[in-house]
Structure 1
Amino acid sequence: MLKTNMKLKNPEIIQELLRAIVEESYNEVKEEKMLLCMECGDVDLYIAISNNERLQEAINKNFELDEFGEVIDRNSYNELIEDLHEYYIDIFRTIGLFDYFPSGYYQVKGETRLSETDMLGPKKMFYAPFEDALVSENE
């Protein structure tokens, strides 16, 4: 559930766009057999906004804009983006498309490996947060 410190004019649209971005990310990483790093920019709302004009417009509808189309109240904008970023990360964790791998030690191909960051992988594709830890190769 989307919770923000400000009342949004269009929360349903923003939720729908963020969910679509997460689903698109899933399709891309599943096809490429990749992992997403939670702290490395792979799951970053700022990047998602900069690459999605519809999301930018939906967020901006909640603010007064100057003659150049820029948000006037940058502090409120930044607070909203922080709230949306938390929600965005939560979608990745709860949508049911990804396995979550917290940082820590994992056994991969007979050796102990350390993952220093939290990672996400397409559901049931990886057994550990490493590109060579594919479930199909471990069976």
Structure 2
Amino acid sequence: MQTTKKLINEVEVENILRKMVKDAYEQIKDEQVLLCMECCDVDLFVAADSHPELEEAIKKNFELDIYGEIADQKSYSDLLKELDEYFVQLHIKSGYYDYFPAGFYTVNGREEESETDILAPKGIFYAPFEDAAK
């Protein structure tokens, strides 16, 4: 995990992100779900809302104002963007999902194009389309 801001608790933040990826997989592992990478289906900003421990871990790296909020919102926003990119990569490289990059696929004997990168629970689809379930 590489971020512009040096994190004092990098291992803690990374472990939380890895747990979030695993938990998300556990929730959908037996379902025919296609996750669009450009449609915010895999998005740290959305996922973080239900993981207050991530917010608390991130806060440890910033000076807080008198209300307990992060004082430097620009640095915080920049860090979240970097962590979001890492979060997406964790999904792709986790081994829990099949990754289908944008491109052409043969589905039921016809050529189909996916304009976006797609993730799906491992072993459920052979291409990034609903009618490509195994």
1:11 paired residue number: 10
* Aligned residues of 1:105 and 1:112 also touching (Cα < 8 A): yes
After superposition, residues 65-104 of structure 1 pair within 5 angstroms as 65-104=64-103
- When normalised by structure 1's length, the TM-score is 0.89
User: Residues of 1 paired with 2:27 and 2:114: CA distance?
Assistant: 22
* Aligned residues of 2:100 and 2:119 also touching (Cα < 8 A): yes
Shift of 1:112: 2.2
Helix, strand or coil for the counterpart of 1:120?
strand
Shift of 1:33: 2.0
User: Residues of 1 paired with 2:95 and 2:31: CA distance?
Assistant: 19
Displacement over 4 Å in runs of 4+: none
After superposition, residues 1-139 of structure 1 pair within 5 angstroms as 2-135=1-134
Helix, strand or coil for the counterpart of 1:24?
helix
Helix, strand or coil for the counterpart of 1:117?
coil
- Deviation digits for residues 96-124 of structure 1 (CA, Å, limit 9, x no counterpart): 11111011222212322221110011122
**Structure 1: segments with no counterpart, 5+ residues:** none
- Deviation digits for residues 13-33 of structure 1 (CA, Å, limit 9, x no counterpart): 111110111111112222222
- When normalised by structure 2's length, the TM-score is 0.93
Shift of 1:10: 0.9
* Aligned residues of 2:104 and 2:111 also touching (Cα < 8 A): yes
* Aligned residues of 2:105 and 2:111 also touching (Cα < 8 A): yes
User: Residues of 2 paired with 1:116 and 1:89: CA distance?
Assistant: 18
User: Residues of 1 paired with 2:93 and 2:30: CA distance?
Assistant: 20
How many percent identity over aligned positions?
48
* Aligned residues of 2:30 and 2:121 also touching (Cα < 8 A): no
**Structure 2: segments with no counterpart, 5+ residues:** none
- Give the alignment's Cα RMSD to 1 decimal: 1.3
User: Residues of 2 paired with 1:96 and 1:112: CA distance?
Assistant: 27
